[in-house]
């Protein structure tokens, strides 16, 4: 297995772990979604401060980079907020596989921006993803569209943020791959933390929430680092297929961490089957 594919799969695992950590933080506290989002950004800023200082990150920056950081993080913040809402509305084991709705969302965005209609196999893959998402939403017996709608909004935010992040990364092409990604992530999340810090007072959140959100922040920082390295080294196809495995990982993690499984083993098997099928549909899309 190549390095790029390995880090992409590991990144998908940590991304799934992040959704589980978010849900457990929600369940263990009375914090609001906005408070958790803000606290996570501050927590991540503390986490990446060490590599930023070690790399003397400030020497690579220019005043005009501020605009790029806003373009990256405004849609990212919206996406994170709606993922938190989706998890609160449903469950991490449902939201993880549903994030493959990013593919149909990006397809519609591409058509709207005049990039032409998708091919027949891409249309088939899109239809399969939508059908599987529908089946997952109906698992409880009644259709619940809200988690899916929240994930779609999050997908748009992530897509816009990814595009801006890719453009910003070209500023550091003279650095080695791992140095470049570490610098990019450190600068980005320190900016997020500085901008978000006043929000703790505005939302009347206790300072302890930053510590309580530490696992959400740590898993996300690791996931993003690995996924960015994987995307650069292995290309679009393998990176996207590997990232879609977060659905399978999310369900398996939820099963392992659950002290008492309220859902039946048949229900867990159904979720795993749906997630694997969604991963296959993503692979079909990029063929």
Question: Which pLDDT does position 274 carry in this prediction?
Answer: 86
Residues 6+ apart with CB under 8 A from 180: 169, 172, 173
Alpha-carbon distances, residue 216 vs 21, 47, 175 (angstroms): 5, 11, 29
Band (140; pLDDT cuts 50, 70, 90): low
Q: Which two tokens stand for residue 16?
A: 């799934």
Q: Which two tokens stand for residue 41?
A: 């950004």
Give the single-character DSSP code of 206.
-
Out of 22-36, 58-72, 89-103, which region has the weakest mean confidence (pLDDT)?
89-103
Band (287; pLDDT cuts 50, 70, 90): confident
Which structural domain range is residue 31 located in?
A: 3-285
CA distance 2 to 196: 38
For the chain, what percentages of helix, strand and coil (3-state, to nearest 5) are there? Answer: 85, 0, 15
Question: Which pLDDT does position 235 carry in this prediction?
Answer: 67
Q: Which residue has the tokens 């059908």?
A: 131
Q: Is 33 exposed, middle or buried (0-12, 13-18, 19+ CB in 10 A)?
A: middle
Q: How many domains does the chain have?
A: 1
CA distance 139 to 136: 5
What is the pLDDT averaged over residues 47-72? 93
Question: Which pLDDT does position 130 carry in this prediction?
Answer: 87
Over residues 205-225, the pLDDT tens digits come to: 999 999 999 999 999 999 999
């Amino acid at each position: 297995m190549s390095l790029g594919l390995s880090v992409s799969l590991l990144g998908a695992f940590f991304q799934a772990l992040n959704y589980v950590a978010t849900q457990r933080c929600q369940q263990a506290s009375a914090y609001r979604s906005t408070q958790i989002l803000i606290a996570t950004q501050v927590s991540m800023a503390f986490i990446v401060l060490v590599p930023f200082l070690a790399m003397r990150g400030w020497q690579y920056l220019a005043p005009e980079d501020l605009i790029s950081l806003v373009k990256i993080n405004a849609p990212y913040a919206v996406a994170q907020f709606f993922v938190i809402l989706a998890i609160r509305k449903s469950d991490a084991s449902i939201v993880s596989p549903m994030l493959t709705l990013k593919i149909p969302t990006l397809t519609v965005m591409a058509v709207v921006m005049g990039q032409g209609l998708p091919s027949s196999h891409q249309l088939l893959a899109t239809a399969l993803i939508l059908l599987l998402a529908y089946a997952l939403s109906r698992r409880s017996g009644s259709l619940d569209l809200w988690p899916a709608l929240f994930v779609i909004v999050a997908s748009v935010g992530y897509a816009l943020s990814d595009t801006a992040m890719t453009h910003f990364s070209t500023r550091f092409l003279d650095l080695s791959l791992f140095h470049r990604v570490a610098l990019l992530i450190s600068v980005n999340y320190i900016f997020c933390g500085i901008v978000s810090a006043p929000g703790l007072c505005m939302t009347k959140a206790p300072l302890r929430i930053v510590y309580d959100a530490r696992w959400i922040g740590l898993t996300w920082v690791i996931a993003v680092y690995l996924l960015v390295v994987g995307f650069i080294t292995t290309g679009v196809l393998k990176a996207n297929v590997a990232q879609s495995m977060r659905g399978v990982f999310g369900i398996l993690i939820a099963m392992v961490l659950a002290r008492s499984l309220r859902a039946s083993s048949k229900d867990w098997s159904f979720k795993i089957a749906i997630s694997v099928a969604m991963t296959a549909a993503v692979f079909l899309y990029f063929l």
